[in-house]
Amino acid sequence: MISAVIFDLDGTVLANEDEYGVAFTRVLKKLGKNADSDYPHIGGIGVKENWPQLLSKYKIRTKKTVEELTKETQDAYLNQLNKVELKPGFVLFAGDLRENGIKTALATSNDWWIVDEVFNALNLNNFFDVMTTGEEVASKKPAPDLFLITADKLGIAPEECLVIEDSKAGIDAAHSAGMKTIGIARDDEHAHTLKGANEIVFNYSELSFARISNLV
């Protein structure tokens, strides 16, 4: 039985993968490095958590702190916020859930100040019963903390929660929390990284209250 659906934010509710890819790429460029892909970062784990790995991977020497690089990346992302849109079909799916008594929540590794900017820009404040952001946990995804805290806020047992995610870290975190998962993929290559999910879809139009009710 599914009583609540917990959504990730970036790449799941928002179609913002390109904008974060550009943000990381721009900061790497300022450090004298060219990104080796359109998405140089690891999705789901948080912006700050990506920078130690990027500094090591690209053998970067800089006097800038991880906190400073994180702020530059978030600023570069917010400069593109006018390009960010909701994933197609999200509004209808979220409405279908709420009409059928399913609680909805947001659990993101991102920071509250970024979430606040996004919610104001895209009018998302009425879509979720509760929200949990990265500052609220000691360990972000793939640790289960974000999802367990969110279930506790909802007052719903983890096994009655369904998580919708676009990253392997998120899928792993949800399973560690004892929750079912649906991966939302942008293409076949991305779908392969989500193969641990109970189901994989490419668009919210594939989802409905009836479909998630039958998820086993």
pLDDT in tens, 69-111: 999 999 999 999 999 999 999 999 999 999 999 999 999 999 9
Domain ranges of the chain: 4-16+85-213, 17-82
Rounded CA separation 80/16 (Å): 9
User: Does the domain spanning 4-16+85-213 belong to CATH 3.40.50.1000?
Assistant: yes
**Do 64 and 73 contact (CB within 8 A), yes or no?**
no
Fold of 17-82: DNA polymerase; domain 1 (1.10.150)
Residue 216 clears pLDDT 70, i.e. is over it: no
Rounded CA separation 144/46 (Å): 14
pTM (predicted TM-score) = 0.92
pLDDT in tens, 148-158: 999 999 999 99
pLDDT of residue 96: 97
Cross-strand partners of 15: 85
Task: Judge whether 4-16+85-213 and 17-82 match in fold.
Answer: no
pLDDT in tens, 26-76: 999 999 999 999 999 998 889 999 999 999 999 999 999 999 999 999 999
Rounded CA separation 109/149 (Å): 13
pLDDT of residue 215: 81
